[in-house]
Structure 1
């Protein structure tokens, strides 16, 4: 079925475009949500105004998301979670929890789908979280997952100490691979 898109549909088409889509997709999703209309002679004449409106909306959204990207880039947020003595969480930190925390702290309206973690976080520590704000606009934040009743700065110190221990060179006098007899 040929339709004219009224709004941007991520991964499908931008507003003002004409595309062939499957009949079920058009009937069950695009048409009821007013994201597209059937491509009739009348709707084809309105395309130029739709494209202009869609381009204006997209440019405004791009501008807003660039500003948000600059605001969020490199920021630290902390989430408190119950954990055992070994640092394993009782449960996990999900993308929805991260989005909610960002929305509360920075006053933005991010969806959980924009948080790009491959799987839920199940350990105490610091994670770098990639965020896809809009089409080609990406940023990263640092997430500090800390046990209930502890300060996030304690986790930062612990991670920093662990990294310095890993980065220290081994003692050069010890050479286990030498076979001198």
Structure 2
């Protein structure tokens, strides 16, 4: 029996895949639970349209991410912090603070989880940071820490 998966099913396939399953498995498990629908001509057309729309959406997101990445590439983000003796900070500069400064200085919304700091920023000076704008677009940014 050919079915179109409506959700990811272990060992069978991913959402939108057209797969061949045993008649009983399809009728007694997949169809009643809403995990799949029968692969009729109409359903196959609908899946093709959804996949086409999804691929164009992914393309738009990638273009937008590349545009944002180009705007941020090799930029310097200025962050000021309280400093103790020897130029060491009280605490460290967090990804949340970096994201906030990116928003303020460059009007770019970046989630704090998308900022990759190799080691904690606890001293004054320049520190390299990677911003993951998209899974395929990674942008190097420099964080310049100055005393408050």
TM-score by length of 1: 0.59
Q: Aligned residue for 2:76?
A: 76
Cα distance 1:120–1:17, how it changes in 2: closer, same or farther (>3 A)? farther
Deviations 1:1-23 (A, max 9, x none): x6437xxxxxxx8xx644xxxxx
Kept in 2, the 8 Å contact 1:73–1:141? The answer is yes
Q: Which consecutive unaligned segments of at least 5 residues does structure 1 have?
A: 6-12, 19-36, 149-181
Report how far residue 127 of structure 1 moved.
0.5
Correspondence list, 1:52-91, <5 A: 52-91=52-91
CA distance in 2, matches of 1:127, 1:17: 44
* Closer/same/farther in 2, CA of residues 110 and 17 from structure 1, 3 Å limit: farther
Distance 1:39 1:119 in 2: 46
Matches of 1:99 and 1:17 in 2, distance apart?
A: 36
The alpha carbon displacement at 1:41 in A equals 3.1
Q: Distance in 1 between matches of 2:96 and 2:16?
A: 32
Q: Equivalent of 2:7, from 4, 9, 13?
A: 4
- CA-CA distance at 1:125 after TM superposition: 1.1
TM-superposition CA deviations, 1:68-117 (whole Å, max 9, x none)? 11111011111110011211110110111111111222222211111011
Tell whether 2:104 aligns with 1:104. Answer: yes
Range with greater deviation from structure 2 (71-80 or 105-114):
105-114
User: 1:56, CA displacement in angstroms?
Assistant: 1.2
- 1:39 is aligned to 2:36: yes
CA distance in 2, matches of 1:62, 1:99: 20
How big is the shift at 1:51? 1.1
Distance of 1:69 and 1:138 partners within structure 2: 7
Task: Say which structure is richer in strand.
Answer: 2
> Aligned-pair RMSD on alpha carbons?
2.5
